[in-house]
Amino acid sequence: MVEFDGVGLRYGPDAEILSDISFNLQPGSFYFLTGASGAGKTSLLRMLYLAQRPSRGIVRLFGEDLVAMPRHRLPGFRRRIGVVFQDFRLIPHLSARDNIALPLRIAGVSEEDLSGPVGEMLSWIGLGDRAEARPATLSGGEQQRVAIARAVIARPQLLVADEPTGNVDPDMAMRLLGLFEALNRLGTTVVVATHDIHLISRIENAQMMRLERGRLSDPTGALRYPPANRT
């Protein structure tokens, strides 16, 4: 589903902040991305959700080379990726319902066709009665649930979350993780960047990707050559 081969990233003339990143994400898998602050987690995720092109190397997503892909084709790929941020990034003047409906509206789904899925999503995240609330009136956990609902409403094949539990209490963190797990069971590939070691231990079969000083630690080669791909 996602293949990074020898990827490096630098901003301007400075030294690379990510070097020789190679991995292969399998469809329907669950990955945790860990590493110290400044290790390059967010930069790696930005390349995953197509906010940044690499400085070198090959990035293949859904079977297509994204490095050389013309810019006008990127929106079509972005619609197959859901993104969740630590700071939620909800649009402040839109209601929870409108924030969740955003990806469907952008994709051109009619109002008639999107009301059902949005209602279901609000119920799924337990905010059916707060549909018209603005983000400012929601708690951190509620805002993050809205952000997750927005990320998954269009049924993305890949879900990328950057420290999604960083601004919520431990109980809410567990509930949010439950949402990611449920999505993963439905077939979505999930990549979650986190510092929280307790979180990592809660998901069975999750694989860990560890970044150290801009390099991916892969001592067994399992990330680069997943068992399913080995010959």
Partner 1 sequence: MIIPRVPVQHRRLLPDRRLSGPTPWVIAILMMLTLLAAAAGVGLARSAGAIGNAIAGRVTVQIVTANPATRAGQAAALRRAATARPFVLSARAVGQEELRATLGQWFGSAEGDDPLLKSLPLPALVDIDLAGGDRNGHMRALRALVAREAPGARIIPHAEWLGPVARLIRSLAWIAGAMVLLMTAASAAIVIMTARAALGTHFATIEMLHLIGATDRQITRLFQRRIAIDTAYGIALGSAVAAAILLLIGWQWSGVTAGLAATASLGPAGWALLLALPLLAIALAALTARQTLLAALKKIL
Q: Which residues bind partner 1 (CB under 8 A)?
A: 49-53, 71-72, 74-76, 78-79, 83, 89, 91, 93-94, 98, 101-103, 105-107, 111, 150, 154
Which CB sits closer to partner 1, 87 or 169?
A: 87
Distance separating alpha carbons of residues 92 and 107, to the nearest angstrom: 21
Least gap, CB of 105 to partner 1 (angstroms): 6
Which CB sits closer to partner 1, 119 or 226?
A: 119
Least gap, CB of 72 to partner 1 (angstroms): 7
Which CB sits closer to partner 1, 89 or 175?
A: 89
Least gap, CB of 78 to partner 1 (angstroms): 4
Please give the sequence-ordered ranges of beta strands (E in DSSP) within 26-171, or none if there are none: 30-35, 56-61, 64-65, 81-85, 158-162
Residue type at position 143: Q
| Separation in Å, CA 211 to CA 20, 41, 110, 167, 218 | 11, 7, 42, 22, 9
Which CB sits closer to partner 1, 13 or 70?
A: 70
Which CB sits closer to partner 1, 135 or 206?
A: 135
Least gap, CB of 121 to partner 1 (angstroms): 14
Instruction: List, edge to edge, every strand of the sheet that includes 81-85.
Output: 81-85, 158-162, 189-193, 30-35, 207-212, 215-217
Least gap, CB of 73 to partner 1 (angstroms): 10
CB atoms within 10 A of CB 231: 3
| Separation in Å, CA 9 to CA 40, 141, 157 | 9, 33, 25
